[in-house]
Structure 1
Amino acid sequence: MSGELSPIDKAKFVAAKRATDFVEDGMRVGLGTGSTAAWMVKCLGERVRKEGLKITGVPTSTRTADLARSLGIKVVSLEEAKWLDLTIDGADEIDGDLNLIKGGGGAHLQEKVVATASDRMVVIADAAKEVETLGAFPLPIEVIRFGWRTTQALVEEMLISMDVLGRDVTLRMQGDAPFISDEGNHILDLHLNRIGNPRELALVLNQVPGVVENGLFIDICDTVVIGHGDGRIETRDINNGTTEDTRLDFVEEDNLFKDLSD
């Protein structure tokens, strides 16, 4: 495997592999969306196949649901599961307080609902996702399609009073057409460069008419697992203030993960 994966994919893989250690038999588990989360779903699928692990997965997107089912993971809706033991998901940016920007894949609405319906959220990422201050990655907000241009104008006006460095707002596209989320909404990407007060911004954004949800995850993540290209893994738990360093050695085997890349 080590000869086939790039350093960033190795980092994603070791983080995902380590995070699956938190999953126990009988758990109801939120399954995140994105390239790193896809590694995690694959690793869980391996545990289901090799260990007979019995879990119930609640996916945060249709693509995650399709992947989980293909690997033999039982999939149900959040309505069926009601409450979750654990959610494992990726992030686009992580600061020192474990606040996140998510939504690069356009699934942050479902991801936030699932994460907040869980006893614990574990975030998996490569080391490049760690930042001192959130905002270099564009902040996504999901907006209803009706009147979206008005919503955009209201957001741009609101940003004038916020502690941010940039205020450009763009409609996310998929080819020549606007991107449509699983909930049938548009995504506006806010190019802010730096967010001085993420908590305030998250609260104010959700007061704008037409905004369904924003991609700031504040006080939701409990544990972050950071992978490195050399197999090193750093696990930080914000609740008990601990940091654990481990390493995963790569072995040459059938690469079940070769179809997972950005």
Structure 2
Amino acid sequence: MNEKQMVGEKAAEYIKDGMVVGLGTGSTAYYTIKKLGELVRNGLNITGIPTSEQTAKLAVEQGITLVDFKDVKQIDVAIDGADEFDTNLNLIKGGGGALLREKIIGNAASTFIVIADSSKGAEKLGAFPLPVEIVKFGSEMTSRKIAELGCEPILRLNGNRPFITDNGNYILDCDFKQIDSPDELELQLNMIPGVVENGLFVNMAKRLITIENGELVEKTR
């Protein structure tokens, strides 16, 4: 069993009968959804809210009932991966392009659980380029404004065309090298007109499940 499978399946243990579950996107969350599908087939009764069209498809294949935000009052637990996490459990997310929906669902959840393999940990964030979702209109100007904060924004491509999110927007991957104040940068980015959301998840994760020295480790905040 690889590390992603280990942490993904461990997170499924926090899901109880009757819960509304935020379902993450990516190669680690894949294992959580697969495990939840197995539990559903064995009698677990849950409903899910997916963070992407890709996740919705997988959840349906696994027999997990999906609902819309309009049909629920709260999300009990959201489980999602991370591209990088620091010692304070702040995150960079968005490598899969679903950062906006991931942040909406993570913020709406009573408990947000992050699952990540041992390669994703860092003292400070920034080794992984920060994804920033922006609207198409005026994207060149938005990119220049973001660059003034100390990075080189690169438009994400899908082949030789711009990558388009599930929300119809572009993503800029922004290399800040090292992010000393993620809470401050998050606010600065979201104040730029044209920025929809950024991949800094600050003070959101309540629990991190990861691997250290080959063993499962859980950290809480």
State the TM-score bracket (shorter-chain normalisation). Answer: over 0.9
Give the Cα separation in 1 of the matches to 2:4 and 2:175: 25
Matched, 1:233 2:216: yes
Question: Counterpart in 2 of 1:213?
Answer: 197
Please point out which of 75, 81, 88 is paired with 1:84: 75
Q: Which moved more, 1:81-90 or 1:220-229?
A: 220-229
Contact 1:93 1:134 in 2 (8 A): yes
SS in 2 for 1:25: coil
Greater strand content:
2
Give the Cα separation in 2 of the matches to 1:189 and 1:81: 33
Question: Counterpart in 2 of 1:5?
Answer: none
Give the Cα separation in 2 of the matches to 1:203 and 1:193: 18
- Alpha-carbon deviation of 1:154? 1.1
Question: Counterpart in 1 of 2:18?
Answer: 26
Amino acid of the structure 2 residue aligned with 1:118: A
Amino acid of the structure 2 residue aligned with 1:85: D
Q: Which has the higher contact order (CA 8 A, sep 6+)?
A: 1
**How many residues end up aligned between the 2 structures?**
221
Unaligned runs of 5+ in 2: none
- Alpha-carbon deviation of 1:76? 1.1
Give the Cα separation in 2 of the matches to 1:69 and 1:228: 33
How large is the RMSD of aligned CA atoms in angstroms? Answer: 1.1
Give 1 or 2 for the bigger CA radius of gyration. Answer: 1
TM-score by length of 2: 0.97
Matched, 1:70 2:61: yes
- Alpha-carbon deviation of 1:229? 8.4
Question: Counterpart in 1 of 2:167?
Answer: 183
**Deviations for 1:208-253, whole angstroms, at most 9, x for unmatched residues?**
00000000000100000003684x2101111xxxxxxxxxxxxxxx
Matched, 1:44 2:36: yes
Unaligned runs of 5+ in 1: 3-9, 161-166, 239-262
SS in 2 for 1:35: coil
Please point out which of 1, 4, 7 is paired with 1:12: 4
- Alpha-carbon deviation of 1:15? 0.3
Question: Counterpart in 2 of 1:172?
Answer: 156
Question: Counterpart in 1 of 2:94?
Answer: 103
Contact 1:11 1:228 in 2 (8 A): no
Give the Cα separation in 2 of the matches to 1:91 and 1:117: 17
Contact 1:78 1:114 in 2 (8 A): no
Contact 1:14 1:228 in 2 (8 A): no
TM-score by length of 1: 0.82
Q: Which moved more, 1:131-140 or 1:72-81?
A: 72-81
Question: Counterpart in 1 of 2:180?
Answer: 196
SS in 2 for 1:119: strand
- Alpha-carbon deviation of 1:193? 1.2
